[in-house]
Amino acid sequence: MSVDTSDLDALVRDLGRIPAAMVPKVRGVVAKAALNTKNAMRKDAQGSVHFKQIAPTIGYDLKVKGDVIEAEIGPSGGGAASLAGIAYFGTSRPGGGTVRNPEAAMLEEAPSFYEFAFKATEGLL
């Protein structure tokens, strides 16, 4: 007895290609979300009386490794960037913790990210 599995084999090949087809489309969505989050974080920092100097140090790096796309967003470098932890979370002493937690900027961007990621990948599954 033999079974024709050619349709199943074709489906497996097509499903194997989906991540590769998604990467370029989703990369743009991740980059835009990272940019929007960075801009929100800069605005929050600029609004601080004591920590506005960290605003220009806030940026993002986009990394693509195979089918993994990630963005790292936040202050970097020395100088004013080293104050970010105090600006966001404070210390054991009074003061600091006056700049909105970066997670809030990310959560604000999440609905748009999901919407555009869905639109970018429509028809690929």
Which of 5-9, 89-93, 95-99 comes out lowest in average pLDDT? Answer: 5-9
Q: State pLDDT tens for residues 46-58.
A: 999 999 999 999 9
In this structure, is residue 59 part of a structural domain?
Answer: yes
Question: DSSP for 89-123?
Answer: H--SSSS---SPPHHHHHHHHHHHHHHHHHHHHTT
Give me the number of domains the chain comprises.
Answer: 1
In this structure, is residue 19 part of a structural domain?
Answer: yes
Q: Which residue has the tokens 């004591």?
A: 50
Which of 21-30, 52-61, 84-93, 116-125 comes out lowest in average pLDDT? Answer: 116-125
In this structure, is residue 1 part of a structural domain?
Answer: no
Q: How far apart are CA 59 and CA 94, in angstroms?
A: 28
The whole model's pTM is what? Answer: 0.84
In this structure, is residue 69 part of a structural domain?
Answer: yes
Tell me the residue range of the domain where 85 lies. Answer: 6-121
What 3-state DSSP class applies to 75?
Answer: strand
Q: State pLDDT tens for residues 5-60.
A: 777 777 767 766 668 888 888 999 999 999 999 999 999 999 999 999 999 999 99
The reported pLDDT for the residue numbered 45 is: 97
Which of 47-56, 68-77, 87-96 comes out lowest in average pLDDT? Answer: 87-96
